[in-house]
Amino acid sequence: MATLQKIRSKGPLLLIVIGLAMLAFILGDAWKIIRPNQGVQYVGTIDGKKISAMDFQSELENYTEVVKFTMQGQELTEDMNNSIKDQTWSMMVRNNLLEKACGALGITVTDAEVRSVIELGQDPVLANTPFSNADGQFDADNLRAFIAGYSSLDRSMVSPDELAYYDSMYKYWLFIENDIRSGLLYSKYVSLINAAIVPNSIAAKESFKNRLERYDVLMASLPYSSISDDDVTLTNSDLTKAYEKNKESLRTYSESRDIYYIDYAIEPSDADRQALLAEINEITTQLEEQTDDYAAFMRRSGSVETFSEVARSTKNLPEDVAARLDSVNANGVFGPYYNEFEDSYTTFKVLGTANGYDSIQFALIQVVAEDEAEMTRLSDSIYTAVSKGADFNAIAEKYGQSGEAQWLGADAYEPASISGDNALYLNKLNSMKKGEVANLKVTGANLILKVTDVKTPVKKYNVAIVKRPVEFSSETSNAAYNKLSLFIAQNTTLDDLKANADDSDFHLLYLPRFESFSNNVAGVAKSHDALRWAFGAQEGEVSNIYEAGNANDRLLVVAVDKIHPKGYLSMDAANSMLYLDALNGKKFDVLKDKLAGKTIDELKSVEGIAFDTIKYLNFTNYAYVASSRANEIAVGPSVSNLAVDELSLPMQGTGCAFVAKKISVENNTTAYDEAAEKLRIQTLDSRQLTSSQQIFNELVIKADIEDNRYKIF
């Protein structure tokens, strides 16, 4: 038990200071929609292996617990939950593909190898774990002590909060251990692939030359913009040519859909604003009369601001409130007033002021005994000893605690709603001076506190803030719904919506290549039901109205335009993306004739020609061309093997047609070392494969992956 307490003392300080329990993770109502009569049992397929909804749910819950542990009890937002779902799926894809590939090759990771990494303690994943020593470095002995203490823990003797913390820490460690194992497996697989990278002598020579040779280039260019689009005629053959040229970039690995949608925001009416103002006026009168139990009053007020019994510095108060504090005396009320940036009404009461610190460094000994008398005797004894100069750490260790001084910044607790013992504790710390010792009685324990250092004394305020955003009423919401419902009833097809939306109060928006793993429609919160509908509908279908938004303040209507199966996009679907490439190709056919067969002097008489001198160019550098306002990567390669003053053939660039020639060459005097150059190429290629996850991406491309999570989650 003492070992666990010591480990915990190195965990998140905020959990110790204000006693925040781990927040219960509620995965929306996702699992409630799984019913036997729906027949949906799988969330996807990974290279032929079906992934059940139950398996995904289990992995999701495990990873969520890990994230919550690292977030120090912070509540997870919808975006965080969506990110966790996506990361869980990505990890399942990665692990399944990697295990299959390594299994076929006989590559395994032993428990001894995992233990070796842990003992060495240098893997980055170990850096931020709570199993650290006094220097903040990972400590394997500390980890072993925790695991031993956890396995022998008498769960009946530990408070629910502490038990939840230890369970979460243990699950967190299991995740870290599995991550180490997965990382080792991937490293072995990458090492095997890297062993197959064997540069040849020709590649080594070209690499050496292209890396060290630099040249100045004279470039003559004609921008594509010099030809009007109307003067060029594109044929199906031109688009087909562009399609074949760019085909690999048009490959998709999941189904996508082109959709149109109406995203209608419900805005508060004037009547809603007047009703809130009347309510806030009444609250202001009540606040003026209030003399105690402000916490209960604040709960009844509906304020979006938290109330704390701990004084706060102005930086942790709303800016609009902080700016008005000097206008109010103690027990004075200010407001109500309107904040146009927040669209809210605010009223507040200054309950008092106090002196405190921006940061406090302190040490703590928690004294617990079988009865009140013994606890008083023991705490008084420790307090007396510490006050007379006894070693605080030595006494703390005697009672199974670390006693190490830790910094606590005001930003860690001031934004929270704090009351009771936690408020008593923090207010006491803020009232103490550097070097002072205190014996503080709290529920069920005594706390021996020693302030070892402080930073930046500041004035703090006890403030009761009632802040109410202007919100729409049910009447306003119903009116907006009925208005949109009438419009949809009169425009039941996608063609109708396209024809009539612009003449209404509703804007029809277009979203091409919409994919199911987006989690919502066009970034609108809580629009997953609309997404689910979109991937079950057929082309041309129009949805019913969906209520969405964090406050149910958005109304969504979705219509499916085109469905694109996974694989290569069709010519029709890719036309808009291919148009510019095909258009520039046709313009190049015209412009190259103006450049071909001419000397630099002859080119000077060509209308619209632009000359640029590009210095220190090599094979891989971009050349910025001012006339076309584009970075041209083809310039370096086009002249790399030319002799000085030799002019290239006309080349098709990104924004122009051009010819170029070397006007000078600067050769590095470094001697060519074939072995060293081959090693450099091998190292660079290996690093690129590893850092860019290219190897894993190849596994994904070759695998058959079907992601149907949207149907359930």
> Is the per-residue pLDDT at 282 higher than 60?
yes
Query: Contact, 643 vs 662, CB < 8 A?
Result: yes
Would you say residue 701 lies in a domain?
A: no
- Do 509 and 620 share a domain, yes or no? no
Helices (H), 596-645: 600-603, 635-639
Indicate whether 262 belongs to any domain.
yes
User: Domain with 529 in it: what CATH number?
Assistant: 3.10.50.40
Global pTM reads 0.73
Tell whether the model's pLDDT for residue 230 goes beyond 80: yes
Is 639 inside a domain boundary? yes
Domain annotation covers residue 11: yes
Q: Which helix (H) or strand (E) holds 661?
A: strand 656-666
Determine, yes or no, domain membership for 549.
yes
**Pairing outcome for strands 554-564 and 437-442:** unpaired
Asked if residue 438 has pLDDT above 50, the reply is yes
Averaged pLDDT, 541-551: 95
Considering the domain architecture, whether residues 484 and 423 belong to the same structural domain is answered as no
Residue with tokens 């279908």: 541
473 backbone dihedrals φ, ψ, rounded to 5°: -85, 170
Q: How far apart are CA 530 and CA 553, in angstroms?
A: 15
Indicate the number of domains in the chain.
Answer: 4
The whole-number pLDDT of residue 154 equals 85
Statement to judge: residues 370 and 413 lie in one domain: yes
Same domain, 180 and 41: yes
Q: Give which of 470, 464, 461, 462 is closest to 339, Cα–Cα.
A: 470
> pLDDT value at position 21?
31
Please give the pLDDT value at position 39: 53
- Tell me whether residue 713 is in a domain: no
Query: 3-class SS at 183?
Result: helix
3-state class (DSSP) for residue 346: strand
Is residue 13 predicted with pLDDT exceeding 70?
A: no
Is the pLDDT confidence value at 258 over 90?
yes
| Residue bearing the bigger pLDDT, 8 or 414 | 414
- pLDDT at residue 573, rounded to an integer: 85
Determine which helix (DSSP H) or strand (DSSP E) holds 262, and give its type and residue range: strand 256-265
Distance separating alpha carbons of residues 390 and 508, to the nearest angstrom: 74
Mean pLDDT along residues 217-237: 93
* Whether residue 261 sits in one domain with residue 180: no
Stretch 442-466: mean pLDDT, rounded? 94
Q: Which domain holds residue 423?
A: 271-469
Chain segment 638-697, per-residue pLDDT in tens: 998 899 999 999 999 999 999 999 999 887 778 888 999 899 888 888 887 776 577 888
Q: How high is the pLDDT of residue 74?
A: 78
User: What pLDDT digit, counting tens, does each position of 610-624 carry?
Assistant: 999 998 888 888 888
Whether 418 and 454 share a structural domain? yes
Nearest to 193 by CA among 687, 709, 711: 687
Indicate whether 30 pLDDT > 50. Answer: no
Do 287 and 396 have their domain in common?
A: yes
Condensed to tens digits (0 to 9), the pLDDT of residues 396-434 reads: 988 888 888 999 999 999 999 999 999 999 999 999 999
- Which of 211 and 306 is assigned the larger pLDDT? 306
pLDDT of 218: 94
Pairing of the two strands 656-666 and 651-652: antiparallel
Rounded to the nearest integer, the mean pLDDT of the chain is 88
Compute the average pLDDT of residues 208-237.
Answer: 90
Q: What is the DSSP string of 2-41?
A: HHHHHHHHTS-HHHHHH-PPPPPP--TTGGGG--GGG---
Highest-confidence segment of 65-79, 335-349, 387-401, 675-689: 335-349
Q: Considering the domain boundaries, does residue 420 fall inside one?
A: yes
425 and 561 co-located in one domain: no
Edge to edge, the sheet with strand 651-652 lists 610-617, 214-223, 656-666, 651-652
- The reply to whether 304 and 416 lie within a common domain is yes
What is the DSSP pairing of strand 610-617 with strand 214-223?
A: antiparallel
Q: What is the mean predicted confidence (pLDDT) over 128-149?
A: 87
Q: Based on the domain organization, do 411 and 392 belong to the same domain?
A: yes
Q: Both tokens of residue 318?
A: 């709303």
E-strand stretches of 318-385: 333-339, 344-367
Roughly how many angstroms between the first and final C-alpha of the chain, as a whole number?
Answer: 40
User: How far is residue 51's CA from residue 89's CA, in Å, rounded to a whole number?
Assistant: 10
Length of the chain (residues): 713
* Contact present, 527 and 264 (Cβ < 8 Å): no
Same domain, 429 and 550: no
pLDDT at 31: 37
Both tokens assigned to 222: 């004609």
State whether 260 and 280 are in the same domain. Answer: no
Residue 700 tokens, joined: 């994904």
